[in-house]
Amino acid sequence: MAYDSTNIFARILRGELPCKKVYENEHVLAFHDINPQAPVHILVIPKGAYVSLDDFSAKASDAEIAGLVRAVGEIARARGLTEPGYRILANHGRDANQEVPHFHVHIFAGRPLGRMISKA
Ligand code: DGP
C-alpha cells in the first residue's frame, strides 16, 4: 500500500490539524488520542512517511526505529506508567482495523486493562 500524504496524522505532522502534544523529538511525535479507550491513551508516531509497522520495520532507518521505541519507554516513564503498568498496541491492516494509514503505536494505561484482546 502506497503512503497517502493526506492522512490525518500526516496533516497533524505538517501542523495543518491540531493535536494535544505529549512529546516530540527528531524522529517522533506523540499526542493524546481523540477517542480515548482508557484514562491514558497516547499515540506515538514516526515523523517519516510509513503506512504501518510492516512498512516501518522494512524501510525505516535504525535511528528512526530506535527513536520510536525509546520514545515510547520515555513517555511511559515520564508519566509514571511503569508501575502500575501499561499496554502498547499497533494495528496493521484490515483484520486489525487499522483506521489511520500512518504507523502509530497506542499506549494505554490508567486502569486495569484486562487480558490481551477482544474475542469478538
Ligand atoms: P487505528 O485503528 O490503530 O488506526 O487507530 C487510530 C486512532 O487514531 C484511533 O484510536 C482514533 C485516533 N484518531 C483518529 N483521528 C484522530 C485525530 O484527528 N486526532 C487524534 N488525536 N487522534 C485521532
CATH of the domain at 14: 3.30.428.10
Per-residue pLDDT in tens (0 to 9) along the chain, 120 residues: 899 999 999 999 999 999 999 999 999 999 999 999 999 999 999 999 999 999 999 999 999 999 999 999 999 999 999 999 999 999 999 999 999 999 999 999 999 999 988 776
Total Cβ atoms within 10 A of residue 45: 24
Position in ligand 1 atom list of the atom nearest CA 20:
21
- Domain range spanning residue 67? 8-109
Cell 498496541, residue located:
89
Cell of 97: 482495523
Handedness of CA 5, 28, 50, 60 (dihedral sign): positive
Would 120 be classed as within a structural domain? no
Would 117 be classed as within a structural domain? no
Query: Ligand 1 site: residues with CB under 6 angstroms?
Result: 8, 17, 19, 31-35, 91, 97-100
Is the omega angle on the peptide bond into residue 36 within 30 degrees of 0, that is, cis?
Answer: no
Position in ligand 1 atom list of the atom nearest CA 91:
3
CA of 100 to the centre of ligand 1 (A): 6
Cell of 16: 495543518
**Is the whole-model pTM more than 0.75?**
yes
**Number of domains the chain contains:** 1
Cell of 56: 516501518
